[in-house]
Amino acid sequence: MVETLRPGDHVCWTVGTDDEQLDVTARFIADGLARRHRIVYFTHSLLPLAVSAGLTARGVPVARAVADGQLRITPSSGGYLATGRFDASAMPGAWAAEQDAARAAGWSGLRAIGDMAWAASRLPGAEDLAAYEARVNRVFAEGYAMALCLYDRRLFTAAELNPIMSAHPCAKGAADERGWRPALRMRVTATPPRLTLRGEIDASNRDAVAAMLETLAAESATVEVDLAGAAVFDVSTVTRLVRGAGTFRLVGQSPQVDRLIGLVGGGAR
Amino acid sequence: MTVSAPGLCHEALFYDSDDAYRDALLPFLRDGLAAGDALVAAVRRENIALLRDALGPDAPHVTFIDRDEWYRRPAVTIAGWWTLLARARAAGHTGARIVGEVAFGGLERHRTWTRYESAVNAVFADAPAWIVCPYDTRALPGRVLADAHRTHPVIRDPGRRDSAGYRAPGSLLRELPEELPPVSGPPLADRPLHDVTDLAAVRETVRAIAAGWPAEALEDLLLVTTEIAVNGLRHGRGERRLRVWRSGDTVVCEAADDGPGPADPLVGYGAPAEGSQGGRGLWIVRQLCDEVAIAAEPARTRVRVAMTAAPGVTTG
């Protein structure tokens, strides 16, 4: 269920039809309105007017929310692609500014919805997309903003989606939404530098974890990595933690993770 | 008797008596001691006693290991050698002399350990190690003895010579594929793998099938299943499927795809070099599983693993 998402989360949500896209965004927006979050929707495959109509038809008080400054529906050319190309390096900064503005206006959170259909048409810079999705986790993990990234399965192949999914801490694939919960939550505090991981780590999110570890290692000499609520089903993540042992101080890891660290470290050369 | 090559020297020693064993290995170890090499002997318990007696006051310089403990899973044994070699290097030894008396086990394990003996040549190619593997011609079947000629570049019986039958590990491993762990009856689960979001559901399925397993073994099984499923998604082609069987305390998982399988028959035998990405998952899978087989037919690859857990003892 999309309603299980909370500030700090960043999901790759695949859809198969326009109706499915409008259904999930309507529920995501309704949930956000009730929680006093600001919501910014970057649409691409649908015109803003069509989105407004579709959401209104699904019971979302679009007109009132827009008038209150709580909801903004804008074409992706006004957001991701403001410079005419997708500039991955500028995006985290843009998100941080959006976040500051929402805070200053008194909203208790910021929800972003991104219709990523533009990436399928191979715009300049789109090849940086997975790397961008991985890096931007740093912004969301502070726990104020959250993002629903919409990927249309009619536009992207499974092989194209796998690395993009893995750049997000959680993803929803073709399977039914019932019972869906975010697979992994990443939360960051700056002082002391700490990454808290809750959920399961596997190939569906390891690139997100890897990028987060890399970013945090660049920010601080030592980073506490709290694994108390995490199960690790991915050898490459364990390898990364072993190689970064000088930087990453693990706490709360299960005996299974300790044994894996022994196995990975024991044969290192 | 010296070997000047800097890399691995891997020899099979055929012996048929305690005297032959002692006569070959005592000078090997004594010379190593004089040369300042690290000395390790993973041999049968009776032969630990025999070598200790023969070495007398020099015995404490040798690390003795009971081979029945040492030769359980090829990947674990290989990881163990890496650890011992690293320790030797840290202690200031420039080389190591190793006596490795492989425990070939029951008939069904002979191929597994023949493959190991072959893989050693590639995995430790650059290691400053001199390994002599004693083969007891009184006890071992002819097939195992014949294969030793194919897996060791050098033979001693007791004279020392190049093995005429030696085969490069890449081609021998292809010729002697690991046999698929047996299964009986239809699988308890048989599902397609579409993308990485299927992994959590795959674990739910395996968790249900392995009901009653102790926590630690279950966690290993879930990791192993995830890794082989990811392997199929990443490297496989066409239709990917995961199938799971259970028989008593043994769970067998198989990830299949329509691709040609890994190009390198040695994949997963040794730890990938620092910085390399692929292969590490399969290396851990090989360490954790009782059996691992990769069957590559022209248009179908199957990676099948078996794990057995004793129920009742919950450690987690």
pLDDT (0 to 100) of residue B316: 40
Handedness of CA A75, A76, A79, A83 (dihedral sign): negative
Closest partner residue to B196 (CB to CB) among A166, A235, A267 is A166
pLDDT score at A135: 85
Note the pTM of the prediction, 2 decimals.
0.89
The minimum CA-CA distance between B93 and chain A, rounded to whole Å, is 17
Give pLDDT tens digits along chain A (269 positions). 999 999 999 999 999 999 999 999 999 999 999 999 999 999 998 999 999 999 999 999 999 999 999 999 999 876 666 676 777 777 778 888 899 999 999 999 999 999 998 888 766 666 778 888 888 899 999 999 999 999 999 999 888 888 899 999 999 998 888 889 999 999 999 889 999 999 999 999 999 999 999 999 999 999 999 999 999 999 999 999 999 999 999 999 999 999 999 888 755 44
- Beta partners for B39? B62, B97
Query: In angstroms, what CA-CA distances link A154 with A16, A24, A174, B237, B250?
Result: 6, 17, 11, 20, 41
**At what angle are helices B215-235 and B199-209 packed, to 10 degrees?**
140
Give the tokens for residue A61. 């008080």
Helix axes A255-266, A235-243, angle to 10 degrees: 70
Residues in chain B, pLDDT under 70? 1-5, 273-278, 311-316
Report CA-CA distances (Å) from B178 to A151, B113, B136, B292.
41, 10, 24, 8
CB contact under 8 A, A161 and B195: yes
> What's the token pair of residue B241?
């499927």
Query: What residues of chain B lie within 8 A of the CB of A254, using their CB?
Result: 219
A174 in contact with B at a CB cutoff of 8 Å? yes
pLDDT of residue A96: 86
pLDDT at A125: 66
Cβ–Cβ gap A183/B200 under 8 Å: yes
B-chain CB neighbours of A166 within 8 Å are 196
Select from B197, B201, B284 the Cβ nearest to the Cβ of A171.
Answer: B197
- The nearest CA of chain B is from the CA of A44 a distance in Å of 25
Within 10 angstroms of residue B298's Cβ, the number of other Cβ atoms is 8
| Residues in chain B closer than 8 A to A161 (CB atoms) | 195
Question: Does residue A256 sit at the B interface (CB-CB below 8 Å)?
Answer: yes
Tokens of B41: 């002997």
**CA separation, residue A6 to residues A184, A216, A231, B25, B85 (Å):** 12, 22, 20, 67, 50
3-state secondary structure (DSSP) of residue B184 = coil
User: Which residues have C-beta within 8 Å of that of residue B259, sequence separation ≥ 6?
Assistant: B235, B236, B237, B238, B299, B301
Q: Is B280 on the interface with A (CB under 8 A)?
A: yes
From CA A3, how far away is CA A103, in angstroms rounded? 22
Q: Measure CA of the first residue to CA of the last residue in chain B; give whole Å.
A: 53
**Model pLDDT, residue B173:** 95
Cα A186 to Cα A192, A201, A205, A255, B163, distances in angstroms: 16, 11, 11, 21, 57
CA atoms within 13 A on the CB side of A203: 24
Query: Who among B199, B220, B223 is closest to A204 (CB)?
Result: B199
Residue A201, Cβ density class (10 Å: 0-12 exposed, 13-18 middle, ≥19 buried): buried
B57-77 residue pLDDT tens:
999 999 999 999 999 999 999
How far is Cα B63 from Cα B46, in angstroms, rounded to an integer?
15
Q: Please tell me which of the candidates B196, B216, B222 has its beta carbon nearest to residue A204.
A: B196
pLDDT the model gives residue B270: 82
Q: What is the pLDDT of residues B205-245, one digit of tens each?
A: 999 999 999 999 999 999 999 999 999 998 889 999 999 99
Cβ of A269 and B82 within 8 Å? yes
